[in-house]
Amino acid sequence: MTEVTDADFETEVLGAELPVLVQFTAEWCGPCRQLAPVLRDIAAEEGDRLKVVQVDVDRSPRTTMAHGVLATPTLMVFRGGEPVRSMVGARAKRRLLAELADAL
């Protein structure tokens, strides 16, 4: 899973050809660590249909604020440079895949 920063968010996420699942995360966030293996699995299994990246809210405050992220983990799906779905909190892989189905 790639880490994206304020410097490359526009290129890596907004300019991506595939839909992008962005996890807004932080090192101190327990639920974020819980979600990490789920996102790694999804990145490996859905890599041909979905790009998965993470943004550290402490290291990339501009991107975090620009997208109204108030809690971690926040998951956002971007398609064609626009946010199309937003979810807050850790979730099981099956539930996350179900929630992503319409965004893919």
Q: Any idea which residues carry the catalytic annotation?
A: 29, 32
Q: How many residues does the chain have?
A: 104
Helices (runs of H) and strands (runs of E) counted in the chain:
4, 5
Strand 82-88 and strand 20-25: the pairing is unpaired
Q: How far apart are CA 19 and CA 30, in angstroms?
A: 26
Task: Identify which of 66, 58, 96 has the alpha carbon closest to the alpha carbon of residue 82.
Answer: 66
